[in-house]
């Protein structure tokens, strides 16, 4: 659901340039240039690192969720040193 909504927003972001009398080259480029840039960066990184696209079925999500359920009641250790002075920001 979230992916489909993100795709709709991505594709309709610059819709106003397609309406009659509103064509603007700069608006079109700023609205749609990120699509090929992200695709090129993604596949270039995949080629550079020589990794493959894995299927969602091969990710052990169920095991990870079971582990979270087993250890969810353990208290977090107290912070030491300078980090305890600023840890209130994230609490």
Q: What is the count of structural domains for the chain?
A: 1
Mean pLDDT for the chain overall: 87
- Cβ contact 27:40 at 8 Å: no
Give the confidence band of 73 by pLDDT, cuts at 50, 70, 90. Answer: confident
Longest dimension (CA), the chain: 63
pLDDT tens profile 42-52: 999 999 999 99
Instruction: Check residue 69 and give its pLDDT.
Output: 81
Give the confidence band of 8 by pLDDT, cuts at 50, 70, 90. Answer: very high
Radius of gyration from C-alpha coordinates of the chain: 23
Q: Which range marks the domain in which residue 39 is found?
A: 2-90
pLDDT tens profile 58-67: 999 988 888 8
């Amino acid at each position: 659901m979230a992916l489909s909504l993100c795709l709709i927003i991505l594709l309709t972001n610059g819709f106003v340039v397609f309406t009659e009398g509103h064509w603007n080259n700069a608006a079109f480029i700023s609205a749609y240039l990120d699509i090929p840039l992200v695709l090129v960066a993604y596949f270039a990184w995949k080629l550079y690192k020589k990794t493959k696209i894995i299927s969602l079925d091969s990710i052990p999500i169920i095991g990870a969720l079971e582990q979270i359920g087993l250890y969810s009641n353990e208290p977090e250790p107290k912070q030491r040193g300078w980090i305890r002075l600023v840890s209130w920001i994230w609490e």
